[in-house]
Amino acid sequence: MTFSFGQPNGAKPVPFARDLATHRDHTALITPTGEISYRELAERVTATARRLGPQRRLVLLAGANTADALVAYLAALAAGHVVLLAPGDSAATVDAFVAAYDPDVVVRQAGGAWSIDERRTGSAHTLHPDLALLLSTSGSTGSPKLVRLSHENLQANAESIATYLDIRDSDRAATTLPMHYCYGLSVIHSHLLRGAALILTDLSVADPRFWERFRAARGSAFAGVPYTFDLLDRAGFATMDLPHLRYVTQAGGRLAPDRVAHYAALGRRAGWDLFVMYGQTEATARMAYLPPVLATTHPHAIGVPVPGGSFRIEPAPGHPAGEGSGDRTGELVYTGPNVMLGYAETPEDLSLGRTVDELRTGDIARCTDDGLYEVIGRSSRFVKIFGLRIDLQRAEAALERRGVTATCTGDDRELVVAVTGAATPDAARVRRLTADECGLPLRAVRVHHFAELPRLATGKPDYRTIVREARAPGDGPLPAGTPALAPASAPASAPAPAPGSGVPDLCRLYAEILDRTDVTEDSTFVGLGGDSLSYVEMSLRIEQALGHLPADWHLLPIRELLPVSELRRPGRRRPGRRLRALETGVALRAVAIVLIVGSHIPVFMVQGGAHVLLGVAGFNFARFHLTSATRRERVRHIGNGVARIAVPSIAWIALVVLLGSGYDPENAVLLNSVIGSHEGRQEWHYWFVETIVYFLVALALFLSAPAVDRAERRFPFGLPAALAALGLLTRYNLPGFDLRVPHLSPVVVFWLFALGWAAAKASTARHRLLVTAVIAASVPGLFPDQHQREAIVIAGLALLVWFPTLPSTRALNRVAGVLASSSLYIYLTHWQVYPHLKDHSPLLALVVSLVVGIGYATAATRLMRTRPRAHRPGRHDRPTVRRVRDKLRAISVG
């Protein structure tokens, strides 16, 4: 059964898009909100195809891994329109394509909903009958150069891939790569062809939520570029229980042979296959694959041609790799039904038919005695880094336009820029220019100055010598001692970026607040070591700079924050007063510290704030310390968090012990809970600080164990839930400890910290209900005959579990932000402030206590930022899959 789309005259539908309904009630799409059958998908595609109209047109689609975007894409293919696929997360790239190709229809997300903008009723273009799809192939974002693909290209490559992967209608593949990237698109095509299901998601494989959804959807397949496999290591993939996983595919650049062999062996033990693949956008995605049975014995090979395709080796004697190697080594040339029609650089090129019959890959390869092909070099001026195909000549030309004379080379690891001339160049500037032009992270660009460029006897640049000398200082991506972004840091007194700030301004802001010198546009707050103490200040400064605080901003790369500032561009009307969102954790910290101080004076008597803050502390521990970083980086990060709490606390309490009375030396070293005399109430004033420090130190030791680290990554909710269960044993003091003040003892209150941790990792309603039920059942009785205090704790923690944000205003956000970021310091100092004022005016005592604490917070923060500190970029600062996706906007990769 097929649906009639009313195709325009002369239009050719793509068969797998036209025949969706033949798969009937099989599941087609699995979304965060539910499943969509092929029958339902076909009906939605039919409706959208009719909406696109009867005349064949050029349809620009801002791609995304969502049902709406996929429906629009399939509708255009099924109805015979020509699709220009652009990255949906880059408004600038979409605008560039609109300007360059003048599409008749633009389909994109606007205001949270998908819209079809018909720019004209007919078409402004002459579209060749065979043309179906236009994809970017350049390594530079927004380049007008496109690959022209036909209906036959799409269908043939989908059938070829589905054949060698043996895709079945029971398979369920996750969309781990962006739709506008040819590799990600090939996953969609091949699975829809066979009636298999797609798990639509844009989550990274480093995100525990991805694996929760993958397991819940009975995922059987996912695809990855080389960096994906680094993230899999960090996520504890080797120990994951994935009972339905059948195969994993790898492409998008060369994966190191030892990594291929490792993952092939891992798959064999776990019952899934690893398919290493090779291709380019010009071949509609795939040209070769390595059969899984050969992956451990031939990990260097790209394998054999895909079904329907063939290779030939054309001698390339001018290339060093080919000299003296015989006729089995040379440039790899591919022929098959998936070879593109040709390139397009202007709208007029859309009328062209086939201009190429075979694909010269630009790779130097050899055919082994086993009949397998192996790529051993490049014949043209291109390199692939992070899966990006970088045009070296274009990079050189871009630098020359900026007044920089340079020669570019490199390999799969990094781009090497050789700058020549008598004067020493500004290396940081050259790196930024190169990274921006090529779409690479800064850490993938190495700049080296040569007084005279090394050359061969022929006069050509000696690229091998350039790379060798550039790397002489070290083997990493940057020479030893070179900062990743210099000069990124700013003095502590530097003003916040103005509204409409650019990425460099935001980088300087991050460098200032987090005391880092390695901030790049790909950095995230969490990746740079941000914690709960700096979180509030950073959120306020970002909102001030951009006019809005994006959701999950602390997990987003800096460059992804910038589009929000378009609301504040000059010439645009600024929105009027409106409600803002205030994070619940920030609100609770602000309210709790006011309640704590006010109840101690007392101005009022509303207790329970400190125990709410224990839950908030656990919540923030999970958010800021339990990232996708390596085990050692996590432990180091926790250690930094301990220092940020302990150092200013010990400094203040030591001063109090020296100048005051009623405190013991044990207080100054935060050991009162362990070795204190416990004779008076005053010595317990700093129980909360001691408790948090104890918890962080204990958890740093706990998580330093490899087995525990793996368990946390595999069971992100289960581990804190188990710790909370253990904490309940000491909550009710079942071991029978001699406790003078039970509700202030760390062993008693740990379960609240663990519940806050579990709340942060609760990804389902069932998880949140479980945490809420434990809170409601275990808090009563902690404070005998103080029911209001218990109600405050239950209510505060319930808010934390169920409401990520609360409605607020801009002014209220600022007040709450200042109080929350200063809460530790207010708690430290208020004991020495309010006794001098409470008899005169309790309200004045409250206000002055808050002001003094805020003042100490400001002074302590500045002193902590000015202390000598060396930062080494951690492995977790590398680009995540999401970052790599964003760099794959206009590329050709295999």
Q: Dump pLDDT digits (tens) for 807-866.
A: 888 788 889 888 988 999 999 999 999 999 988 899 999 999 999 999 998 888 777 655
DSSP 298: -
Q: Per the confidence metrics, is the pTM higher than 0.75?
A: no
Mean pLDDT score, 243-264? 92
pLDDT recorded at residue 644:
86
Instruction: Find out whether 145 and 343 touch, Cβ atoms under 8 Å.
Output: yes
If you search the block for the tokens 């800021």, which residue do you land on?
A: 624
What DSSP element (H or E) covers 289? Answer: strand 288-290
pLDDT recorded at residue 500:
41
**pLDDT exceeds cutoff 50 at 664:** yes
Other Cβ atoms within 10 Å of 453 Cβ, number: 16
pLDDT recorded at residue 675:
81
Query: Phi and psi for 518 in degrees, rounded to 5?
Result: -115, 30
Comma-separated ranges of CATH 3.40.50.12780 domains in the chain: 15-369
pLDDT recorded at residue 519:
80
CATH superfamily of 387-470: ANL, C-terminal domain (3.30.300.30)
Least confident of 17-21, 384-388, 818-822: 384-388
| Separation of alpha carbons 441 and 879, rounded Å | 7
In 460-600, alpha helices (H): 463-470, 503-514, 532-546, 584-600
Nearest residue to 88 (alpha-carbon basis) of 107, 101, 105, 116? 107
Residue 590's contacts (CB-CB under 8 Å, 6 or more residues apart) are 815, 816, 817, 819, 820, 823
Cα radius of gyration rounded to whole Å, the chain:
30
| Separation of alpha carbons 541 and 746, rounded Å | 34
Q: Which amino acid is at 10?
A: G
pLDDT recorded at residue 24:
93
**DSSP bridge partners of 746:** none
DSSP 252: S
**pLDDT exceeds cutoff 70 at 874:** no
β-strand 359-367 against 329-335: which pairing, if any? antiparallel
Span 402-416, pLDDT tens digits: 888 888 998 777 899
Mean pLDDT score, 386-405? 80
Nearest residue to 161 (alpha-carbon basis) of 327, 296, 284? 284
The rounded percent of the chain whose pLDDT value lies above 90 is 50
Mean pLDDT score, 316-327? 46
Q: Where are the beta strands (DSSP E) in 765-838?
A: 805-808
| Separation of alpha carbons 485 and 201, rounded Å | 32
Mean pLDDT score, 306-327? 68
Q: Which amino acid is at 632?
A: R
β-strand 34-37 against 27-31: which pairing, if any? antiparallel
pLDDT recorded at residue 549:
67
**pLDDT exceeds cutoff 60 at 573:** no
DSSP 113: E
Instruction: Find out whether 440 and 227 touch, Cβ atoms under 8 Å.
Output: no
What DSSP element (H or E) covers 150? Answer: strand 146-150
CATH superfamily of 15-369: ANL, N-terminal domain (3.40.50.12780)
Confidence of residue 487 (pLDDT cuts 50, 70, 90): very low
Confidence of residue 688 (pLDDT cuts 50, 70, 90): very high
b vs e for 181-210, b when ≥16 Cβ sit within 10 Å of the residue's Cβ? Answer: bbbbbbbbbbbbbbbbbbbbbbbbbbbbeb
Q: Which amino acid is at 788?
A: Q
| Separation of alpha carbons 32 and 507, rounded Å | 33
User: Quick one: how far is CA 430 from the chain centroid?
Assistant: 26
**pLDDT exceeds cutoff 70 at 322:** no
Measured distance between the N- and C-terminal CA atoms of the chain, rounded to whole angstroms: 35
Angle, helices 67-78/38-52, rounded to nearest 10 degrees: 60
Instruction: Find out whether 818 and 851 touch, Cβ atoms under 8 Å.
Output: no
**pLDDT exceeds cutoff 60 at 453:** yes
Mean pLDDT, the chain, whole residue set: 83
pLDDT recorded at residue 497:
39
Instruction: Find out whether 559 and 520 touch, Cβ atoms under 8 Å.
Output: no
Comma-separated ranges of CATH 3.30.300.30 domains in the chain: 387-470
Span 421-444, pLDDT tens digits: 766 778 888 988 888 788 777 778
